[in-house]
Amino acid sequence: MEMDGIRSAERAGPTARNGRSRWRLTLAAMLTGTLLLTAACSGDKDDPSWQGGGDGAAGASSAPSAEPTLSTVAVTSPAQDAKSVELWSEVKFDSEDPDNTEVKVTNAKGDEVEGTLDKDQNLWRPSESLAWGTKYTVTVTTPAADGKNNSATSSFTTMKQPSNLVRVTSFLGDGQTVGVGMPLIMKFGRAIPEKYRAEVERRMVVTATPAQEGTWRWISSTEVHFRPQAYWKANSKVFTDVKLKGVELGDGWYGRSDLTVDLKIGREMILTVSNKTKKMTVKQDGKVIKTIPVSLGKPSTPSSSGTMVIMEKAAHTVFDTTDEDPVNGYKTPIDWAQRITYSGQFIHAAPWSEGVQGKRNVSHGCVNVSEALGQWLFQRTMMGDVISVTGTEDKLKNGNGWTDWNMSYAEYKKGSYL
């Protein structure tokens, strides 16, 4: 027997040499595997071990420290360098950490634009309309694990001021005090197509203090009213914020400007007129403060039964109907006049009918009172006070004045497009 396997293989022929080659390959593979295994198991304590291998000194197992994950952010809308962006456009963004994300919008001068951030929907909304034809820069920032901030910036330019602009107006003024039946009234300089009315309503926000439910109702294509479910609570504050600047209003027309109205609601005064008793009951804050004899419209010109609102007041005026009726018309000086319908019905002093007030109807449709009581009432009422007439031959037609209270709230709401 030879001393080792190598010599034995050398004595053999080609077949033995082929076997020897295979034997050497096998041995090399075994040695290599042993080295790899040794390296894997022993390792160096200064190098991370594979698969969580232990420390060379103690052999304890510990997981490697994870690399900090950075929260990425991006502005998704308006698109980078977008042009002709509408003035009320929202800024949309992506963030892996929305709770800690901040959004800043600045104009070309670097002034920050006020807005509100909705972190649930990843939206920033401007508090006021943006300016026409102006470049804005959006910066979205979120904290990173290394103490620095990750941020993304984007710019866009708003639309140029168009030539077709629609004006919205209200005759009500800031600080004005009105009665509990006063509807909020907005008028447009051009008819608003039906498909745009819901968006118009969304952008006319009414805030009452204390809070009160209410709704808008379109009276026509150019006029919309708002009333609460019940009469305004006495001494309330009502703020209307109309945000229509740059908002599309149909056929290439846009809102011209924004508008705010800050009103006060006065004490509650309700006038109730009964044709049966020929008397007006005046209630202030729920208490009867006066009962006034009246004369209503005669059968040929009856007063309207329904709920109306005092629309305007004139201490002294002239009723002139000669243009409408040259033959039977009249021109008469009137004191303490308070309009309640568009068709010409008023509460007013009528000294010529004082002898029959509380007994018979002789007017042309107005609510006649005495000169003294007409003045007394005039000095206590205000625009927006409520007058309800019952028992006459004619029913008040909706739209003949501010007839917002001449229907139920459920019926009124049907005039809204929301």
Give tens-digit pLDDT for 47-81. Answer: 443 333 344 444 444 444 444 445 588 999 999 99
330 half-sphere exposure, CB direction, 13 A CA radius:
6
Q: Is the pTM of this model over 0.85?
A: no
Fold topology of 73-158: Immunoglobulin-like (2.60.40)
Distance in angstroms (rounded) separating the CA atoms of residues 171 and 406: 22
Residue 7 has pLDDT above 90, yes or no: no
Q: Write down the pLDDT at residue 266.
A: 98
Q: What is the pLDDT of residue 18?
A: 44
CATH of domain 165-266: 2.60.40.3710
Domain boundary assignment for the chain: 73-158, 165-266, 269-405
- Contact status, residue 290 vs residue 269, Cβ threshold 8 Å: no
As a whole number, the mean pLDDT across the chain is 86
Three-state SS string across 381-392, please? CCCCCEEEEECC
Residue 147: its pLDDT value, please?
Answer: 63
pLDDT surpassing 80 at residue 395 = yes
SS3 193: coil
pLDDT at residue 149, rounded to an integer: 74
pLDDT (tens digit per residue) in 260-296: 999 999 999 999 999 999 999 999 999 999 999 999 9
Distance CA 416, CA 418 (A): 6
User: Does the fold of domain 269-405 match that of domain 165-266?
Assistant: no
- B/e letters for 48-81, b = 16+ CB within 10 Å, e = fewer, are ebeeebeeeeeeeeeeeeeeeeebebebeebeee
* Spatial distance between the Cα atoms of 28 and 255, rounded to a whole number of angstroms: 86
Flag whether pLDDT at 17 surpasses 70: no
According to DSSP, the β-strands at 135-143 and 102-106 are antiparallel
Whole-number pLDDT of residue 299: 95
Helices (H), 164-291: 194-202
Q: What are phi and psi of 127, to 5 degrees?
A: -80, -30
Which residue, chain included where needed, has tokens 């005026």? 317
Nearest to 383 by CA among 170, 172, 168: 172
pLDDT tens digits, 320-358: 888 888 887 788 999 999 999 999 999 999 999 999 999
- For residue 130, give the 3-state DSSP assignment: coil
Q: Is residue 158 within 8 Å of residue 132, measured between CB atoms?
A: yes
Higher-confidence residue of 64 and 229: namely 229
Q: Does the CA dihedral 386-390-396-398 come out positive or negative? A: positive
Predicted local confidence at residue 73, as pLDDT: 87
Q: In this structure, what DSSP letter does residue 297 have? A: B
User: CATH number of 269-405: 1.10.3720.10, 2.40.440.10, 3.40.50.300, 1.10.1740.10?
Assistant: 2.40.440.10
CB 411 within 8 A of CB 215: no
Catalytic positions are 348, 366
> What is the three-class DSSP state of 378?
helix
